[in-house]
Structure 1
Amino acid sequence: MLTYNTMMVIYKAAPIAIIAILIALFWISRMLCGKNSQTSSTVTPQRLIEFSMEELRQATNNFDLDNNHLGFGCYGLVYTGLIGDRIVAIKREWLHLQPRFLDEVSYMSKIQHENLVNLIGYCCEEGNQLLVFEYMVKGNVRDYLGDSSDFTFKKRISVALDAAKGLLHLHNLDPPVQHKRFRTGKVLLDADLNAKVSDAGMLGLLQDRDLRLLNPRGGLEETIDVYSFGLFLLELITGEKPGLLQSTFEIMQWILLRRSTNTLLDDNMPGTFTNQSLEAYMKITIECLTYPAIDRPKMDMVVTELETIYQNEVINEEHEVALGSELFNITIQ
């Protein structure tokens, strides 16, 4: 049993211990945000806005889960916010603070592109790490496929071309950057259906987490992104998630089964298209998915092919070709 004197010592020491713990946590949070630490970055990210926590609280109505919550992503909770007259998307860290947060944010600020969802600013304050991105009002392609009734073949080609240019930009960086988590949910749309790839360059912030790829590795470096882009193209034209296709045989079996039952094309796709464009689209889709991985095209070739298909649709826009009225031939060399 504790004596009276012992209890009094504990009673008097407890507040001091609590204060000491709070002070320690405060300094740890400052160190993890790159302040007062010799091992943290001393470089302030360029071309970005450094927001205060109070600004982001006001922008999100104190991170209102009912009205401002967009979803839950790999980095944490995602909110909409209003800063001035601009709507933004704010991602808030939910697992643990990253000691190299400012380094990674600085890096992300240098890889911006018109076909990437660009970082606007950040906050590293009060033990919080948040990222502020431009807001894409139409959401992601996966959701848009299910909700839209005006997503024509031509518009889908345009979206695919935008996304391909985003990946090409990453692959052309020095050193090259691979997305490694690309899928339809990572392609976001603005009010005019311009597409941008999200979460580009974020692997450094996620390196301590379980990044299970949504496609078989099947290759190294950018071949993984090319394979994922092939799945994206297939889902974009069919409206259906194809799952993992781990051989050329499985790919052809999946396509030909739907072709034979006239269910390959998305029922929600209105309008017309040329058979030539559809054949070219399926050809580049299969090439992106092909095995072995070394035979997959580079993203610059994918961009070129999609540009040709898009221009062909522009030229033939006035021609009427009934949707799904003809079967098309696919040949694998």
Structure 2
Amino acid sequence: MVSCFLFNYREKSSDIQQPLTPERYNYTDILSMSNNFKDKIGEGCFGTVYKGQLHDDYSIVVKKLESFKVSEEHFINGVSRISGIQHPNLVPILGFCSEGSKHVLVNQYMPNGSLDKYVGNSDSFSWEKVWEIVLETGQGIEFLHGQSGGGIIHLDIKPRNILLDGNFRPRISDFGIAKLCRKKHDLVSLYGRSETMGYVAPELMVSRDFEAVSCKSDVYSFGMIILEMACGRRHVDVDAINSSKVHFPTWVYELNERGDLEFENLTKSDTMIARKLFVIGLWCTQTRPSDRPSMTRVLEMLETDLDDLEMPPKPVFISAQYLRERELDSPKEMLLPETMERSS
């Protein structure tokens, strides 16, 4: 019965909106809409975010991009491409500004903030709502990877970039911004930020020529979010609890092996949801990109009976420093050291 509900829910939420033409504003307009950047509501890898208002009192978000060194032509062409990507689980781009070195995006405001406010609190949502958030976020990522026509790899999937609308429906933000980075090292340098590190796929931490980028990199980031939602705690909390460095997916896997996952007070249907999310999250965070499922496969797994899902191998943690010391000949296919055995 749950699988039937999810199938119908997926069909309903995958309707594609009609493309909109973003409005081009001058910088004076931006200053007016943002009240001179007075109401700061966030700061991320690509810049600072402010709440603003259009002339009709429609709430908006003004994203002041501060890490971009691109020409006006490049920026406008890029915004034109990504603004046509419309999906119920993506934050629409309403407008933009590009004047010299000033680059700004205007997005729809999401009143319930980001998922970052709720991850780590097991009482934030019911298990059914957790399921819906995971499912719809996955649909948005799958759309970016294939159905959007642009083959968009997000490269910065994390709770802070999953916004929640008035109905707590997830909307992915900052999609396509990676395409606006003209120089690859401009994007790679962003991965050093603390709020991003834990969600970055291992291969992106070691590739010098950016050849390791693939849709599987987003799958890894999504898997980390799934595990956090299922555990009710952040991956950084686990690191803080333990004296030695801990690989969050490995920690989750070992909890399951010891039978220490807490399901005592859950209903049968909620337990099924929780266990399935653990299994899928562990598949998504496999070390080798080729061992991770595609987003299409992830959505299929979400709609598959728990008994039909195979438990993945134990994830193996390899530090970025270890890999950098050993220059990989093929960053597209990370190879585990011979001394490290995969657990079955």
TM-score (normalizing by structure 2): 0.67
Per the TM alignment, residue 149 of structure 1 is displaced from its structure 2 partner at its CA by: 4.1
Per the TM alignment, residue 58 of structure 1 is displaced from its structure 2 partner at its CA by: 2.0
Q: 1:287 aligns with which of 266, 272, 283?
A: 283
Question: Residues 96 and 106 of structure 2 are in contact (CA less than 8 Å); yes or no, is this contact kept in structure 1?
Answer: yes
Cross-structure match for 2:293: 297
Per the TM alignment, residue 127 of structure 1 is displaced from its structure 2 partner at its CA by: 5.1
Matched, 1:229 2:222: yes
Kindly provide the CA deviation profile for residues 17-43 of structure 1, in whole angstroms up to 9, marking residues without a partner as x: xxxxxxxxxxxxxxxxxxxxxxxxxxx
Q: How has the CA–CA distance of structure 1 residues 215 and 127 changed in structure 2, closer, same or farther, with 3 Å as cutoff?
A: closer
Task: Report the Cα distance in structure 1 between the residues aligned to 2:35 and 2:66, rounded to whole angstroms.
Answer: 18
Task: Report the Cα distance in structure 2 between the residues aligned to 1:264 and 1:88, rounded to whole angstroms.
Answer: 40
Question: Residues 153 and 214 of structure 2 are in contact (CA less than 8 Å); yes or no, is this contact kept in structure 1?
Answer: yes
Question: What amino acid sits opposite 1:284 in the alignment?
Answer: I
Kindly provide the CA deviation profile for residues 94-124 of structure 1, in whole angstroms up to 9, marking residues without a partner as x: 2455201101111111222211111110112
Task: Report the Cα distance in structure 2 between the residues aligned to 1:107 and 1:271, rounded to whole angstroms.
Answer: 46
Per the TM alignment, residue 157 of structure 1 is displaced from its structure 2 partner at its CA by: 0.7
Cross-structure match for 1:203: 178
Task: Report the Cα distance in structure 2 between the residues aligned to 1:305 and 1:162, rounded to whole angstroms.
Answer: 14
Per the TM alignment, residue 264 of structure 1 is displaced from its structure 2 partner at its CA by: 5.4
Question: Residues 89 and 140 of structure 2 are in contact (CA less than 8 Å); yes or no, is this contact kept in structure 1?
Answer: yes
Task: Report the Cα distance in structure 2 between the residues aligned to 1:127 and 1:180, rounded to whole angstroms.
Answer: 24
Per the TM alignment, residue 80 of structure 1 is displaced from its structure 2 partner at its CA by: 0.3
Question: What amino acid sits opposite 1:256 in the alignment?
Answer: E
Matched, 1:276 2:269: no
Per the TM alignment, residue 283 of structure 1 is displaced from its structure 2 partner at its CA by: 1.9
Matched, 1:131 2:102: no
- 5+ residue gaps, structure 2, are 1-18, 192-196, 205-211, 240-246, 314-344
Question: Residues 68 and 181 of structure 2 are in contact (CA less than 8 Å); yes or no, is this contact kept in structure 1?
Answer: no
Matched, 1:62 2:58: no
Task: Report the Cα distance in structure 1 between the residues aligned to 2:288 and 2:101, rounded to whole angstroms.
Answer: 46
Deviates more, 1:192-201 or 1:289-298: 289-298
Question: Residues 116 and 198 of structure 1 are in contact (CA less than 8 Å); yes or no, is this contact kept in structure 2?
Answer: yes
Identity of aligned residues (%): 27
Task: Report the Cα distance in structure 1 between the residues aligned to 2:312 and 2:69, rounded to whole angstroms.
Answer: 48
Cross-structure match for 1:194: 169
Per the TM alignment, residue 241 of structure 1 is displaced from its structure 2 partner at its CA by: 2.5
Question: What amino acid sits opposite 2:311 in the alignment?
Answer: T
Question: Residues 118 and 124 of structure 2 are in contact (CA less than 8 Å); yes or no, is this contact kept in structure 1?
Answer: no
RMSD of aligned alpha carbons: 3.3
Kindly provide the CA deviation profile for residues 269-323 of structure 1, in whole angstroms up to 9, marking residues without a partner as x: 99884333333222222211224321211111212232457xx9xxxxxxxxxxx
Cross-structure match for 2:136: 162
Matched, 1:106 2:80: yes
Matched, 1:256 2:231: no
Cross-structure match for 2:311: 331
Per the TM alignment, residue 160 of structure 1 is displaced from its structure 2 partner at its CA by: 0.5
Task: Report the Cα distance in structure 2 between the residues aligned to 1:95 and 1:284, rounded to whole angstroms.
Answer: 34
Question: What amino acid sits opposite 1:240 in the alignment?
Answer: R
Q: 1:216 aligns with which of 191, 202, 216?
A: 202
Cross-structure match for 1:89: 61
Cross-structure match for 1:326: none
Question: What amino acid sits opposite 1:295 in the alignment?
Answer: D
Kindly provide the CA deviation profile for residues 223-264 of structure 1, in whole angstroms up to 9, marking residues without a partner as x: 11111111110011113223699xxx9734433337748465
Task: Report the Cα distance in structure 2 between the residues aligned to 1:78 and 1:234, rounded to whole angstroms.
Answer: 27
Question: Residues 119 and 234 of structure 2 are in contact (CA less than 8 Å); yes or no, is this contact kept in structure 1?
Answer: no
Per the TM alignment, residue 59 of structure 1 is displaced from its structure 2 partner at its CA by: 1.8
Q: 1:185 aligns with which of 147, 152, 160?
A: 160
- In structure 2, the residue corresponding to 1:284 is in which secondary structure? helix
TM-score (normalizing by structure 1): 0.69
Task: Report the Cα distance in structure 2 between the residues aligned to 1:149 and 1:122, rounded to whole angstroms.
Answer: 38
- In structure 2, the residue corresponding to 1:217 is in which secondary structure? helix
Aligned positions of 1:8-23 closer than 5 A? none
Task: Report the Cα distance in structure 2 between the residues aligned to 1:95 and 1:168, rounded to whole angstroms.
Answer: 27
- 5+ residue gaps, structure 1, are 1-44, 313-328
Total equivalences in the alignment = 263
Cross-structure match for 1:36: none
Question: Residues 46 and 106 of structure 1 are in contact (CA less than 8 Å); yes or no, is this contact kept in structure 2?
Answer: no
Task: Report the Cα distance in structure 2 between the residues aligned to 1:115 and 1:81, rounded to whole angstroms.
Answer: 22
Task: Report the Cα distance in structure 1 between the residues aligned to 2:178 and 2:273, rounded to whole angstroms.
Answer: 35
Q: How has the CA–CA distance of structure 1 residues 270 and 49 changed in structure 2, closer, same or farther, with 3 Å as cutoff?
A: farther
Matched, 1:80 2:51: yes
Task: Report the Cα distance in structure 2 between the residues aligned to 1:146 and 1:231, rounded to whole angstroms.
Answer: 12
